[in-house]
Every structure is written in structure tokens, then in C-alpha cells.
Structure 1
């Protein structure tokens, strides 16, 4: 086996086994040349092939790190962010940024079709995969449909997971678009202002009653939507 393939296989095995998790810094080129007793060109060739496979990221001055997996999820699913992150083999956590019941405003009608003065619960939270921001969530819950949400602190789980476990739903609508990150979103996701983001906007219903409206904003370079369908 050519030496560059041996280096490639050794690094790939450590990544896929989980020994080197996403974000882990792999040895510098000069360290690998000593370890394998080879030229820097041989090491560079192996690392270049690993970059092409999407397993590592090479950043000037920061070194070479194991890539974070590219996330896929189905367009037609009501997905659970906790499960998405855990499926990547990464620890999941979330932070509630704000949580407040209030009266529906005029601008809320674009999100939930409510009568003036109806009660809603407004939630903003951030989701993380390891130490890295994964998604920013902005949600409204119709308290006429889910009155028990008014007293919920969401300490045991994020709002989406809580709703999936507590409230049935019969239909949902997804709207998907690309947006440049404004300052507030960029700060929440730790990305530069103006970065491309994937935005998934969803409204769920039960027996004609609107339950919740949520906007998920993801860093655009790490997420994609997948839809499978058949003819006829």
C-alpha cells in the first residue's frame, strides 16, 4: 500500500470510529512526517484526499480539524432537533433565550391566524451540537390550542420535543428559503453577518386549529434538505 494511502486510512479509521470526534485537531503535517518517516508532500497528499472526502477541514493558522458532519433532513418530516444532533454522534444541548406569554400582535397574523388579542407563548432558543451552534429557533404557540404550555418552563426538553410528546398534529406546512444572516442571527449562530442561512418555517395544525409556528435558522454551509418521491 502506498504510504499516503496508509496515512489516509489511519486518519479515516480514527475519525469514523469516533476516536477523533468533530472539531478534533489532528496532528500537524510536520508531526505526521516524523510519525510515518515520510516527506511532507506524502502527508499533504493524504490530507488533501481527506478534505475531498469531507472528513477534515484545513484552516490557515488554525490547523487541520475533523469536519462536522453535513446535516440532512427530510422536507416532509416534523423533525426533532435533539435527535438530529444525537444522530451525528454529538452531545446536544439547548438554551432558552426568552420565554414569555403575551397577547397576539397584528404582525403575528402572518405566522398564526389568530383573533386579535389571542394569547400566545413566544419562545426563542438556541440549539447546539457539541460546543458549536446548530440552529436558532423562534416559535409561537397558540395557547388556546395548548393551554398547558403557559406554565411550562421547558427545563426537561426543548419546545419542539415537548410539543411532539404532548400535542397531536394532523397537518403541517413548510416554507423553505435562503437568507443572509442579520446581526442578531449571526451572533446566535457564531457566523459572520451576511452569511448564507437555510431558513425552515413551519406551521402545524390539528383538526383545523393552528398549534404552533416556528422559524428554524441554520448555518447554510452545514445543512441541506432532502425529499424523496416516486412517480404516480
Structure 2
């Protein structure tokens, strides 16, 4: 039998008498250890290395759940107003509070759902206000279209933003006028001010993330409604839902 030194693996031979005493000691220690483990198992406990226990405790001490944001309902509040004020969707607000209707009472505490994450598009220099403006235009222009059709409308705005022939900010593109005529009819008729739904907001986010079902279109129109003859002369890229998407000739 050899005892090994931890550093350098130096070995020290033991005489036979010491070996016997060590063997007896080892057997006794093994029996005591087995008895301890068995009692711990019977008691429903668990045995772990000291290092593992310390690591687990430290992890538990350092772990803290983020506090939920709460809103205390005031007299005259409605769910719609609360959702709008805190820029969360009405559907999510009802869902996290297990509400099946719009009845709320003053003094109630409502959990506010997490706001839309904006990191992806903020990195492009797009503010939340610009996101919501884009969502309002999408909603006003294409609220009757499917999701792909709504993303396509948002993509046209961003394609114009990237084109040298159009303004360089989302508000300037949306509110642009040529010969005193707005480029987008919702700006002229005021429907740009309608509150967008969650679908339109998600379509705006998808467009801002680079999704473009149109293949680079700079124009769109509804051939059933548009009376502009010039726009019909532009090269058509695709048709999605009720809209035709075109580019410059």
C-alpha cells in the first residue's frame, strides 16, 4: 500500500503493521459512513459535497424573481385606457389578470404585462413612437388584410426609407406630400390616428426586422379602389390580398 502526496505524487511506503491498522480503520470508517448515508436516505434527506451545497446556497441567495409591475385602478379607469397609457395590449392585460370581461373596480391591483421588446428595431435607430406610427399606417391601410398583407404595407414604408428618392425618416415618409397631396390616403382622411391593434403592431415589428413579402416594392394600391392611372403604369412585383405592389419604372 502507498500513500500519495497531493503535490508531485511522491509515494511513501508503509510498514506492514501500519498497513493492518490502516485497513481496520478504513473498514470502520466505511461502516460508519454507510450507516450515516442510510439514515439520511431513510429520513428523506440528501447528501451532497460541501462545495456543492455552498454553491447551491449562493445561487439561491443571488437569485431573485423580478417584481411584477402593478397598477392600482382609480375611479374612472377603463381597461382600454390602462392598456393604452402603459403601452401594452388589451388582450395581454386581460390575460395576465385572468379577466374574461372588462369589469374593474377602483382599488383593484392589476398586473401589467411586459411591454413589447424593442431592442431589435431600436438598434436601427427606430423609436417606439415611430414603431407605433408605422403600426397606425398599417392598420389604417390594411386592417382588412391578413398578416402577410399588413407586413407588406409596412415593408413599402421601409423600402422608401432606404431609397434615395424618398425622405429619410418614417414620419417624413408617411406624411410626405407631392403637389400638396399626401402619399397615403389615411393621412389625408385622418384614419392614421386610429389606434392600431396587436396584429398591426406585430406586422410593423416584422417589417422593421427586415421581412419584406413584396420583394422591394415602393408603391402599393388597391386596383378596385384606386383611380390613379399613373400608378397602374408601374412595374408590378406582386399582389398580396387586395393590394398590388409595384416599383419604379
Determine if the TM-score, normalized by the shorter chain, exceeds 0.5.
no
Q: Which has the higher helix share?
A: 2
Larger radius of gyration: 2
Q: TM-score, normalised by structure 2?
A: 0.20
Of structures 1 and 2, the one with the larger relative CO (CA 8 A, separation 6+) is 1
Q: Which has the higher strand share?
A: 1
Q: TM-score, normalised by structure 1?
A: 0.21
